[in-house]
Structure 1
Amino acid sequence: MTIAILAHDSRKELALQFCTAYSGILSRNTVIATGTTGRMLAQATGLPVHCYLSGKLGGIQQISARVACDEVDLVLFFRDPLKAGNGSGSEQNLLRLCDMHSVPISTNIATAEVLLRGLDQGDLDYREGIHPDIVEPLPVHRAVC
């Protein structure tokens, strides 16, 4: 399973503590993250993390694109509900895409814990059949005139 992890600046320490506590479950899955969060997570836990751009530089959009292509199974988004400007367009788009593609998403630590425990118990195994097969593009044959 592919787990995306994002965290607002004021929630990064909370995200690191959470991921350290659940590193056993995370280590059995593919972890992707926005840039700063991912680098901090890899350093704190030793987990391999595929880092995208920083959230402010397009990382949220990159992860959203992966959600739209059914390449993400679970999103852990440690949001600051009091952050000024909360609900930016890119964040709202991520939430919308998770709803459209039935990708479980947490926006707080309580839901993140429920989702990871459920993942560990096999409650999210249904997601395995959702990933599309990656098919190489067919070669283009040009008509000879």
Structure 2
Amino acid sequence: MPARIALIAHDRKKYEIVNFVKQHQAIFYRYQLIATGTTGQRILNETSLNVELMLSGAMGGDVQIAAQVAEGKVAAVIFLVDPLYAQPHEPDIQAVQRICAVYNVPLATDVTIAAPEGELQAITAMVNLLGAALLKLPTNREDIIHLQTKRVKVTTNPPQKVVVDGEIIGTTPVEIECIPGGLTVLAPAASDIEDEEAVSSR
């Protein structure tokens, strides 16, 4: 049975998630897709993908997806969050985030638009990594490097917001300590890495 990916997006993020799915239909064809009602209906209307519709988020769709995560039926969740507007069903949103953390299910909640003309390079890299992990295939992408480290310092120019579990915790630079296998950092590839050996040997 193909792995199942859940798709959720707040109202101001629906256009973004639909465009992203349209651009990467070849990847999403490999998976079973479920989505909250309005998000899923828009994807159905604008792509040739099959999507199992849950209720709308405000009517309990987020909770339905959280339940499927807890039952081991979902391999990953893409949940594009609008951090600038409070949602009336905020506890349901937090439930999805908490359940994904408890069951160690990959969760993408935010995209930093860092590429020219608004390209979604960060989330594109995330889906390619996710697809490779689920299919046990190498990523084979020039814009992805693999480093092992106990501590990561992330800097950007200009500074970018840092989102953890769907909440903005500050802006870059930020330094993070992590356990082995406990952190995946996705960022557009730098034109050159000045001290890759020092980073990978920490």
Percent pairwise identity: 35
How far 1:22 moved relative to its partner? 1.1
The count of residues paired between Structure 1 and Structure 2 equals: 125
* Contact persistence 1:11–1:78 (CA under 8 A): yes
Alpha carbon RMSD of aligned pairs, Å? 1.7
Which structure 1 segments of 5+ residues have no match? 127-145
Matched, 1:46 2:56: no
1:85-124 equivalence runs, <5 A: 85=87, 88-109=90-111, 112-120=123-131, 122-124=132-134
Shift of 1:123: 1.9
Offset at 1:81?
1.1
Residue range with higher mean Cα deviation, 99-108 or 109-118: 109-118
Conserved 8 A contact 2:33-2:50: yes
Q: Which amino acid aligns with 2:6?
A: A
In the superposition, the TM-score normalised over structure 1's length comes to: 0.80
- What letter corresponds to residue 98 of structure 1 in structure 2? C
Rounded Cα–Cα distance in structure 2 between residues aligned with 1:23 and 1:70 = 24
Residue identity opposite 1:117 in structure 2: N
Q: Looking at secondary structure, tell me which structure has more helix per residue.
A: 1
Q: Runs of 4+ in structure 1 displaced over 2 angstroms?
A: 84-87, 109-115
Cα drift, residue 56 of structure 1: 0.4
TM-score (norm 2): 0.58
How big is each residue's C-alpha offset from its partner over 1:27-64, in whole Å with a ceiling of 9 and x where there is no partner?
A: 11100000010010011111000000000001000000
SS in 2 for 1:14: helix
